[in-house]
Amino acid sequence: GENVEQHPSTLSVQEGDSAVIKCTYSDSASNYFPWYKQELGKRPQLIIDIRSNVGEKKDQRIAVTLNKTAKHFSLHITETQPEDSAVYFCAASKTSYDKVIFGPGTSLSVIP
């Protein structure tokens, strides 16, 4: 089955700096890669996703890149703000209608 790894497990950045979280996946049949943000005590929420027919996608301060050949994908957050502090999970799925397998998570702290 699919296995998703994620690095780093914790990340601390100064407000205004960029944060990068990297993930790898094992199943070459995966084609859908969502990213979720989970604030303390709250439910995970989708922040951005990317499909295998696209190499990069951007939404304001958040961007994701995908290298399907290498089975790598990354989340980039620019101009970080304290409210970006949360746990971020990458995930992989065959399609957006299939089960989603999560990475172990990255705890991001943005220091004011």
Partner 1 sequence: GAVVSQHPSRVICKSGTSVKIECRSLDFQATTMFWYRQFPKKSLMLMATSNEGSKATYEQGVEKDKFLINHASLTLSTLTVTSAHPEDSSFYICSALTSGPNTGELFFGEGSRLTVL
Which of the stretches 60-68, 69-77, 78-86, 97-105 binds partner 1 when contact is defined by CB under 8 A?
A: 97-105
Residue in 17, 21, 47 with CA at minimum distance from that of residue 111: 17
Pick 77 or 101: Cβ nearer partner 1: 101
Is 58 a binding residue for partner 1 by CB under 8 A? The answer is no
Is 26 a binding residue for partner 1 by CB under 8 A? The answer is no
Asked if residue 85 lies in contact with residue 98, where contact means CB atoms within 8 angstroms, the answer is no
Pick 78 or 107: Cβ nearer partner 1: 107
- Cross-strand bridge partners of residue 92: 101
Pick 92 or 110: Cβ nearer partner 1: 92
User: How far apart are alpha carbons 4 and 17 in whole angstroms?
Assistant: 26
Which of the stretches 15-23, 60-68, 69-77, 96-104 binds partner 1 when contact is defined by CB under 8 A?
A: 96-104
Structure tokens at 38: 């989970």
Which of the stretches 13-21, 22-30, 39-47, 74-82 binds partner 1 when contact is defined by CB under 8 A?
A: 39-47
Asked if residue 50 lies in contact with residue 66, where contact means CB atoms within 8 angstroms, the answer is yes
SS3 for 106?
strand
